[in-house]
């Protein structure tokens, strides 16, 4: 179990200690339930009352926070408590994983595969022919890496990840359990008799640096060429990326999103849960896609926000929703007008 003093933590997050700099912690805790020996943080003002009740030994807070009363915990003041706590968690996780090295048995590593220094291969992993693995790579149980795969440095493959042949992964990548990289794209050509002929998927998947992919996500290999996930992309659990898709730098995609084949996303895009895009579309940089929206045509306007199905500019979609809610009332008024017009018409005829 790792243990750190307030002074050590302050150095990690570039903060300033208020209180006992020698006090130590060995675990993380939520501010509302933390106990002695744990470190917590306060970023959301809604939780400030817990600051004066918590038993945590160390608390990271914003440097701008003015205390309403004295507290017993040691404080570490930083410009952004949430970002500092995230940094601390990242460093803690890295220190824990550094202790994992070596190759457990039983596992299979092909004679032609090469592994960089400080690697870890858990029991029941499979590494195929001509695989190249970089330094400080962690490969957990039941991971399967197909032939000719290239993996960079500081990559973590959690249990059950499968990487098909010929795929290329960069540096500092995390792939969570059950994710499949490089499975066949959904390509079938219709025949005259109504049956379908499979179109061979001969491409691969390229994942650039600093990408994180959630559990049970699938990224299909290209028919020809590459499906490309560019640097800094973050994919949630249960995301489906079809063949020949390109996802731009620093794009974030929430759970249950589906992208059809050959769709190209720009950089800095945000897609809400259960949204999706039809195939062969382009989505401009910085677009925000609301949850459960369906994109059916190219979006050229950068930094726009779209909502609904089919997805439309946010304010337009909201106006349409208002009109939709008013439809029953409009229908009633229309029927009343029809009756009135009929009555006036009949009076005119009798006159």
Q: Which residues are catalytic?
A: 243
Point out which residues pair with 151 in neighbouring strands.
133, 169
Question: CB-based contacts of 289: which residues, under 8 Å, 6+ apart?
Answer: 269, 270, 271, 272, 275, 283, 295, 305, 306, 311
Which structure tokens are listed for 196? 């379908």
**With b meaning 16 or more CB within 10 Å and e meaning fewer, what string describes 218-242?**
bbbbbbeebbbbbbbbbbbbbbbbb
DSSP 45: G
Q: What are phi and psi of 136, to 5 degrees?
A: 55, 40
Tokens 């540096």 label which residue? 171
Question: CB-based contacts of 311: which residues, under 8 Å, 6+ apart?
Answer: 275, 289, 290, 293, 294, 295, 296, 299, 317
Q: What are phi and psi of 333, to 5 degrees?
A: -65, -35
> Is residue 255 within 8 Å of residue 239, measured between CB atoms?
yes
């Amino acid at each position: 179990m790792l243990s750190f003093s307030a002074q050590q933590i302050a150095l990690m997050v570039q903060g300033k200690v208020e209180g006992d700099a020698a006090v130590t912690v060995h675990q993380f805790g939520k501010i509302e339930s933390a106990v002695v020996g744990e470190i917590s943080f306060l970023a959301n003002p809604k939780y400030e009352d817990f600051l004066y009740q918590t038993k945590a030994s160390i608390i990271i807070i914003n440097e701008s926070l003015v205390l309403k009363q004295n507290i017993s915990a040691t404080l570490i003041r930083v410009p952004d408590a949430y970002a500092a706590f995230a940094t601390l968690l990242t460093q803690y996780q890295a220190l824990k994983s550094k202790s994992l090295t070596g190759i457990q048995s039983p596992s299979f590593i092909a004679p032609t595969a090469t592994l960089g220094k400080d690697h870890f291969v858990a029991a029941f992993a499979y590494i195929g022919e001509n695989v190249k693995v970089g330094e400080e790579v962690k490969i957990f149980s039941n991971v399967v890496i197909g032939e000719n795969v290239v993996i960079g440095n500081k990559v973590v493959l959690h249990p059950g990840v499968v990487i098909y042949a010929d795929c290329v992964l960069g540096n500092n990548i995390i792939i969570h359990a059950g994710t499949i990289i490089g499975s066949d794209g959904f390509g079938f050509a219709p025949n005259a008799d109504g049956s379908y002929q499979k179109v061979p998927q001969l491409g691969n998947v390229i994942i650039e640096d600093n990408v994180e992919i959630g559990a049970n996500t699938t990224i299909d290999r290209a028919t020809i060429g590459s499906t490309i996930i560019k640097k800094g992309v973050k994919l949630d659990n249960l995301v489906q990326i079809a063949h020949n898709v390109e996802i731009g730098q620093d794009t974030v995609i929430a759970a249950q999103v589906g992208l059809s084949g050959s769709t190209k996303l720009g950089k800095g895009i945000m897609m809400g849960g259960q949204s999706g895009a039809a195939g062969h579309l382009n989505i401009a940089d910085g677009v925000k896609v609301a949850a459960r929206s369906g994109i059916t045509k190219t979006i050229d306007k950068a930094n726009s926000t779209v909502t609904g199905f089919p997805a439309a500019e946010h304010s337009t979609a909201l106006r349409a929703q208002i009109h939709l809610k008013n439809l029953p009332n409009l229908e009633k008024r229309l029927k009343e007008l029809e009756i009135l017009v009929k009555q006036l018409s009949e009076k005119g005829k009798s006159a």
